[in-house]
Structure 1
Amino acid sequence: MIESETDLKGLSTEDVLQSRTSFGANSIDHAKKNIFLNSVKEMVVEPMFLLLLTATSIYFITGDYGNGIFMAAAILLVSAISLYQESKSRSAVNALKKLSQPKSKVIRNGETIEIASEEIVVGDLLQCEEGTFIPADGIIVKSNDFAVNESVLTGESMAVLKSESSTIKTVFLGTIVTSGLAICKVTTVGNKTELGKIGKSLENIVEEKTPLQVQMGNFVKKMSLVGLVIFAFVWAINYYNSNEVLDSLLKALTLAMSIIPEEIPVAFTTFMALGSWRLLKMGIIVKQTKTVETLGSATVICTDKTGTITENKMSLAQCYTLSDNSVNDNFSENSTIELLTIAMWASEPIPFDPMEIALHDAYSKLNIADERPNFKLVHEYPLSGKPPMMTHVFENKNGKRIIAAKGATEALIATSNLSSEEKEQVLSAMKKMALQGYRVLGVGLTPFSSTTYPVKQQDFSFEFKGLVAFYDPPKANIKATFETLYDAGIQLKIVTGDNAETTATIAKQIGFRNADKTLNGDELMAMDEETLKARVMETAIFTRMFPEAKLKIIKALKDNNQIVAMTGDGVNDGPALKSAHIGIAMGKKGTEIAKQAANLILVDDDFSKMIDAIAMGRKIYSNLKKAIQYIISIHIPIILIVFIPLALGWIYPNIFSPVHVIFLEIIMGPTCSIIYENEPMERNLMQVQPRPFTNTFFKLKEITISIIQGIVITIGLLFVYQYCLYSNCSESTTRTLVFVTLISSNIFLTLTNRSFYYSVLTTLKYKNNLVFIIISATVLLTAALLFIPLFASFFEFERVSASQIVLSVLVGFISVLWIEIYKAFKRRKVHYNK
């Protein structure tokens, strides 16, 4: 039997500091990559960077040092912005990684505390329990039915039984505790551990690109290829007209630069990383940023009951004793004391399960002598079976033996020789308890005398003693949480190991819908795939579940094209958490195995945070869509105003040069990545159905709107161009007015695209200070280009009249604000359909 933690003092604070100085920290160091250098390498092979570098080189070769210096400065500025955004994204991801690192329990100064695994030192006493990763190499001091999976080192998937008295008493970093509990003394940390020596890292997870990333990458590649073709075409036309190779190349580069939407991948990375960082501030750890993309698509959430719907604060509520067929909440009665004593024999000496903790608490308050210290645990059957039960075999020095079991009522009934009448009495008592929302366990005892123990605990013949009932109250906020998720079009399903009556009672207390539609694990496993595929959609509560059954639920929901989120906290939840699109572990009560398998960790075990997570997923997706629609819409007029005059042989064929395009790029980059990322969530976003995850990023209607926006802006630019020709304006004046029209269109487009549903008057009230900052900076920079002679000359602009500027701004306004009429019709349609 394991001694209590207080008998094992562990290291003192001074010992910890000395050990860390002598033996180092518990972290595996790898060859560090130069992250900055890698980022620079990736940046310089980007098509846009190569185009800018080529244009700059041509300016210097042709002796145009002014433009060459400007382009070189622009390259540095664009590169600095890009590296800063990447650094900010990387910092957010690193913060997530740091917080998602595993925790470990150690005994120090006579107390059990939880610390980051990296803080463990040689000499520490580790408390290793079922469901945890062993954080360092060590030797077992005390143990209780302790088994470890060492496949990370040996490749062998079978668990290995270990104890302080066996020949195999060492434990290793990275291995998994599959059952029991042990106190281990740390002998080696960090690089000197077995795992550290062979150079394996537990963090080497290669993150595959998501469908959205692939779609965006393909889009940028296609646009780059289009740019290459048009670039060659424009170069040929210019060369044909001028017979000047470099000048023609420079003008062709202008068009190529205007085509490549290099802001898209930057926007995606920024949105996902900063979205994860924002979730972190809310108490939600997203282990991989790609999870954020999936969150907004969740259609079903499978939640467990204990600790998610309920407080996970078990208290002993009632006892039923078969001997007198009575239910009692007075635990000082003799029959009740006997029942609780047997239940204690069937419990772990150091409890970590909430029900066992409640039993220990109730038992400690009884004024009776505790015989357990005089006995030794000689054999144990861990929690197993369908439904599960557990059995302990104790023996004292005189050979007296006590074999006690507790577990699901049905499991105890199946292993006991009860008469039909007694079975009815037990089941009736269990049902009454369950209908009060209590979680019920059966308790039994067997007088087994042989030294040859059966292979399975179910082979014992138990004397059924009674029932113990625990109450775990629902969380105060869970009803409102469920209603919000229902309103968001998300189905909720309870998946629990508890019985149907208890679960349904709790479910009804919190307003859970369709609480009468239940299905138990055995019924589920007996169904064929087609039957289950239909039943899984209409069933709300799944009871008496076990790992294989949970996996079947996830698979059946996936077969119905559902995007499944699943909560879990135990060792056996690992496979289902990995199988779900979004695995959700609890930060406090969750085992390390559950946390490692999950995509998302709720730090405070607060299920209501799922509202924040899903809302953030939807907001990020919506804002990213706005940013990319903005990018598409503003790129179209830039491309066409460069291409059309040249292709049609107009009098001023090269209205913009690379310096103009790069200036526009400097403005557009922060607009899409900073303004739209910081946009608040639109108020109707949690009242709409989840978006289908299988869809492409844009619907045809959405992409069509963006293209139309771009074409209408182009028409506005061409109108100003033709107006200038009609008014006999010079090339510089024409360039100036077209440029002002484009900048005006960009500003109005930024404002209108903040919502494709609400009017610009509504979105102006949104709290986003960056809108004012970025737009103000754009206006000031444009004014500087127009009114400071040095800049105006450099950009080949000419002083224009106030009325001409007003005309350009007015055309930009009309070219963009027409969409407000479209949005008004859209709102009206939704209003009438309600």
Structure 2
Amino acid sequence: MSDKINIPEHLTGLNDNEVAASRKQFGSNEQLNKPQYHWWRALFELLKEPMLILLVAISVIYFILGQNSEAWFMLSAVIAVSGISFYQDNRSRKALEALEALNEPLTTVLRKGKKISIPTKEIVINDLVIAEEGNLINADGEIVHSNDFSVNESSLTGEAYSVFKSEKTEDKKVFSGTLVASGLAVFRVTEIGSGTVLGKLGSSLINIKEEATPLQQQIERFVKKMAYAGIAVFVLVWAVYFWKTNDILHSLLKGLTLAMSILPEEIPVAFTTFMALGSWRLMQEGIIVKKTRTVETLGSATVICTDKTGTLTENKMSLQAVYAFANNQLSKEGNWNDPEIRKVITTAMWASEPVPFDPMEKTLHQEYEKITPVDERTSFKMFHEYPLDGKPPMMTHLFQNKEGKRIIAAKGATEALLTISNLNETQRNQILHVSDSLASNGFRILGVGYSDFEGNDFPETQQELPFHFVGLIAFFDPPKANIHKVIQQFYDAGIKVKVVTGDNNITTKAIAEKAGIAEAEKFVNGADLMQLNNSELIHVINKTTLLTRMFPEAKLSIVNALKNDNQIVAMVGDGVNDGPALKASHIGVAMGQKGTEIAKSAADLILIDDDLSKMIVAVATGRRIYTNIKKAVQYIVSIHIPIILTVSLPLFLGWQYPDIFTPVHVIFLELVMGPMCSIVYENEPIEKNSMQLPPRALRSTFLSFREMSTSILQGLAITIGILFMYQFSAQTYASEQLTRTMVFTTLVFANIILSLANRSFLYSIFTTLEYKNNIMLALNSATLSLLALILYLPVTADFFKVEPLSVSQLGICLLVSSVSVLWIEILKWKRRKRLLK
């Protein structure tokens, strides 16, 4: 069978009954035994939240005072606040679980004589696992068959170099968590899950927490400062009220009311929710987010380093031309009748993997089948292999049949084959001329050669073998149909695009121009790049678009240089050699279909369909999420200021109604603000100008005084409106209950208008009203309905100590709240004039 080439026939793997028996006896391949989720445990954790503790404390005081209805209301609020938090936590948890399930790697095993891919957790002891170059090993085992197999065990040993192992070496063990550097091996699983070497580290690994992002740290510091302020103001208010009234319980009630109004508990909940649901939304778009914190970084990307093959192009390699050096013959478009031309194709096929997965190698096998009268592939077995390496790279395969006849074939970069072949300067120039001519059409060119080495003492590197140059093969991989539009969208968003490829500059330039890459004439090769010092490196990379003939160290240098230049780097890669650069970049992006396990393991994002346009979606999502977090936090700050000052200033200034707001009024507002912050704003669509603005600086924050000054001004303006209403009502009606009603209604109206005004800090409220967000409409409608019940239902009006308002009184409340909020529209108008000229 073709899928079992180079795997001995006797290796058939387990059958269904043996798999079931092994799983029953030894269990599943779970590396870390994470604590099982229990809803009651999550609920218990919620009850430790400061807001809920305050509510319980207030309830107890109300019970002591004999105000049972208020006490039961506050306990009901405990349930409501817990319910909202529990709902948000559950949404986030489910989103993360869905992402975790998608991120689980697949493993190729032999079962009942067939190769199948299974989720890693389904591996059982005694399974036969096939590990190939680029794979992550997901269980411990012993090699039973191998072919030039080496493994990088740095994750366990700390040693960076690869170790060659086989069924014949003394050390034939492989370990979970290590990476296949080259070749192929079949190993029998001996340990799974917590029994593996990696699994035994599980207890320490599971306690390692992911490092907080800059924004997360800023939010944590902000919330802590607000908490400290809440404690200080609580003590101050309690002391002042007690000094004036000598009533300790009412003093505590007043102080706790203010502390409750200061505590911004919605902000951390909102951050977690936005990140988790943002990742979940990206998953729906075909983008797997491996770390939710990446979502925060996406909107900041300033440069994207993209591969050429399969990213800019369709990854459909058709053989366009073949050049035979022996008779200086160039044939195109399937005209492979010349014997020397056929020899080039045949040699290139032998230099490919016996079971090809690369599109070029698949094409070579297909073309070989068409041109050969006798298929010799089943007669020869590969007994030695030199994997792709060198600068520029090449690869060599050694085959032998039962009669001892050998085939040693190599293919790789034209320069690589020319360097090691016995050619004079004229011959080299002749070949390079043909190569450059083909490359100018956008063809990918490979040199092909063979060796007549006869001994068994193979040199350490393939470049030491004596080679004969056979010819050139030229493939064409057309640009993707949508790539021109995608590249333009990156440019519109202020993101630079750099092509980082192992191909030569002529081919890369031709493809880049067809893809719409700007300044495609500027290029630098990897070998030249590595000769530069740090300052020269940054200068050259910033001035260059095409980075060609790149190798792992050069790719890593590019990423590090851009990072040192304060750029936010997205790196797109799919191969084993892309791993270091993917890991080092701010946003590592691997391809889901053609990406190796090493690339996927190192990356932060995986594009399921290998479609670069999804990166536009990802960047837009990152910008939407950051902007919406900013709106949510600034809304919370703006609306908390008037609540805090309305509770405290009448007391400090000695006004006639110091108890204008009680805890029941504050908790009603909190119940409205919580969902608005963490649910409604999360659902806001992206603003229409977001992808036409330059990226924000990663270290910039909306929690700076400059950014928060607008929110503080909004809060103070609403406070002025509320206090004006307080004095107007007190002087006009001389009634504490009616004054409370007017102040409370004005604040509720202001909250609704603020939630609408803060949907954009650029576009007017009339523009944002067209944005579709049904949750915003539903919550504001519910708030108005509840306000109506509070004012006009006698039992609730009595409970809140308010009374019905006339139409004219409602109009006054609406007018004052509108003026106190909508002045921001003037600033927006000025901002639009400045930015949207």
Q: TM-score range, shorter-chain basis?
A: over 0.9
Structure 2 partner of 1:426? 431
8 A Cα contact 1:235 1:249, kept in partner: yes
Change (3 A) 1:680 1:11: same
Structure 1 partner of 2:510? 505
> What 5-or-longer segments of structure 2 have no aligned partner?
none
Structure 1 partner of 2:736? 731
Structure 2 partner of 1:798? 803
CA distance in 2, matches of 1:446, 1:201: 52
CA distance in 1, matches of 2:481, 2:124: 41
**1:591 corresponds to which of 572, 596, 610:** 596
**1:715 corresponds to which of 709, 712, 720:** 720
Structure 1 partner of 2:607? 602
For residues 418-497 of structure 1, the aligned pairs below 5 Å read 418-497=423-502
**1:131 corresponds to which of 126, 129, 134:** 134
**2:58 corresponds to which of 55, 60, 66:** 55
Structure 2 partner of 1:638? 643
Shift of 1:141: 4.1
For residues 340-489 of structure 1, the aligned pairs below 5 Å read 340-489=345-494
Structure 2 partner of 1:552? 557
Structure 1 partner of 2:781? 776
CA distance in 2, matches of 1:33, 1:374: 54
For residues 653-692 of structure 1, the aligned pairs below 5 Å read 653-692=658-697
**2:304 corresponds to which of 286, 301, 306:** 301
Change (3 A) 1:146 1:447: same
Structure 1 partner of 2:91? 88
CA distance in 2, matches of 1:134, 1:140: 12
8 A Cα contact 2:641 2:715, kept in partner: yes
Query: What's the CA shift string for 1:514-559, capped at 9, x where partnerless?
Result: 1101010011000111111111111111001011111111111112
- Which letter does structure 1 place at the counterpart of 2:446? L
CA distance in 1, matches of 2:418, 2:166: 33
Structure 2 partner of 1:516? 521
Q: TM-score, normalized by length of structure 1?
A: 0.96
8 A Cα contact 2:6 2:382, kept in partner: no
- Which letter does structure 2 place at the counterpart of 1:408? A
**1:761 corresponds to which of 742, 759, 766:** 766
Structure 1, 688-697 or 170-179: larger mean CA deviation: 170-179
Shift of 1:787: 1.3
Shift of 1:262: 1.2
Structure 1 partner of 2:280? 277
8 A Cα contact 1:28 1:201, kept in partner: no
Shift of 1:157: 4.3
For 1:312, what is the secondary structure of its paired residue? Answer: coil
Change (3 A) 1:127 1:332: farther
**1:751 corresponds to which of 747, 756, 781:** 756
- Which letter does structure 1 place at the counterpart of 2:361? E
Shift of 1:631: 0.6
8 A Cα contact 2:142 2:172, kept in partner: yes
Structure 1 partner of 2:292? 289
Structure 2 partner of 1:116? 119
Identity %: 55
Shift of 1:362: 1.3
CA distance in 2, matches of 1:201, 1:472: 47
- Which letter does structure 1 place at the counterpart of 2:163? V
- Indicate yes or no: 2:533 matched with 1:531: no
**1:322 corresponds to which of 325, 328, 339:** 325
For 1:132, what is the secondary structure of its paired residue? Answer: coil
CA distance in 2, matches of 1:736, 1:397: 98
CA distance in 2, matches of 1:54, 1:335: 91
Structure 1 partner of 2:245? 242
8 A Cα contact 1:325 1:425, kept in partner: no
Shift of 1:294: 0.3
CA distance in 1, matches of 2:208, 2:121: 19
CA distance in 1, matches of 2:225, 2:191: 53
8 A Cα contact 2:176 2:197, kept in partner: yes
CA distance in 2, matches of 1:5, 1:765: 63
- Indicate yes or no: 2:274 matched with 1:255: no
- Indicate yes or no: 2:581 matched with 1:579: no
- Which letter does structure 2 place at the counterpart of 1:585? A
Structure 1, 387-396 or 514-523: larger mean CA deviation: 387-396
- Which letter does structure 2 place at the counterpart of 1:571? V
Structure 1 partner of 2:185? 182
**2:657 corresponds to which of 652, 660, 663:** 652
CA distance in 1, matches of 2:367, 2:556: 36
CA distance in 2, matches of 1:130, 1:272: 34
Shift of 1:155: 4.9
Structure 2 partner of 1:3? 5
Structure 1, 331-340 or 249-258: larger mean CA deviation: 331-340
8 A Cα contact 2:47 2:82, kept in partner: no
CA distance in 1, matches of 2:308, 2:235: 64
CA distance in 2, matches of 1:619, 1:490: 16
For 2:683, what is the secondary structure of its paired residue? Answer: coil
- Which letter does structure 1 place at the counterpart of 2:615? M
Shift of 1:448: 2.1
For residues 215-226 of structure 1, the aligned pairs below 5 Å read 215-226=218-229
8 A Cα contact 1:551 1:575, kept in partner: yes
For 1:526, what is the secondary structure of its paired residue? Answer: coil
Change (3 A) 1:652 1:673: same
Query: What's the CA shift string for 1:51-103, capped at 9, x where partnerless?
Result: 22222221122222221111111112101211211111111111111101111
For 1:596, what is the secondary structure of its paired residue? Answer: helix
CA distance in 2, matches of 1:584, 1:378: 35
For 1:365, what is the secondary structure of its paired residue? Answer: helix
CA distance in 2, matches of 1:258, 1:31: 37
Structure 1, 812-821 or 646-655: larger mean CA deviation: 812-821
- Indicate yes or no: 2:121 matched with 1:145: no
**2:699 corresponds to which of 688, 694, 697:** 694
Structure 1, 5-14 or 496-505: larger mean CA deviation: 5-14
Structure 2 partner of 1:561? 566
8 A Cα contact 2:520 2:545, kept in partner: yes
CA distance in 2, matches of 1:200, 1:728: 68
Structure 2 partner of 1:28? 31
Change (3 A) 1:529 1:153: closer
Structure 1 partner of 2:211? 208
CA distance in 2, matches of 1:336, 1:797: 95
- Which letter does structure 1 place at the counterpart of 2:765? V
**2:103 corresponds to which of 100, 103, 120:** 100
Shift of 1:802: 2.6
- Which letter does structure 1 place at the counterpart of 2:88? Q
CA distance in 1, matches of 2:90, 2:736: 42
Query: What's the CA shift string for 1:133-158, capped at 9, x where partnerless?
Result: 12233443432211122344455544
Shift of 1:641: 0.8
For 1:301, what is the secondary structure of its paired residue? Answer: strand
CA distance in 2, matches of 1:355, 1:121: 35
- Which letter does structure 2 place at the counterpart of 1:608? S
8 A Cα contact 2:522 2:546, kept in partner: yes
Structure 1, 136-145 or 440-449: larger mean CA deviation: 136-145
Shift of 1:432: 1.2
8 A Cα contact 2:32 2:202, kept in partner: no
CA distance in 1, matches of 2:278, 2:815: 37
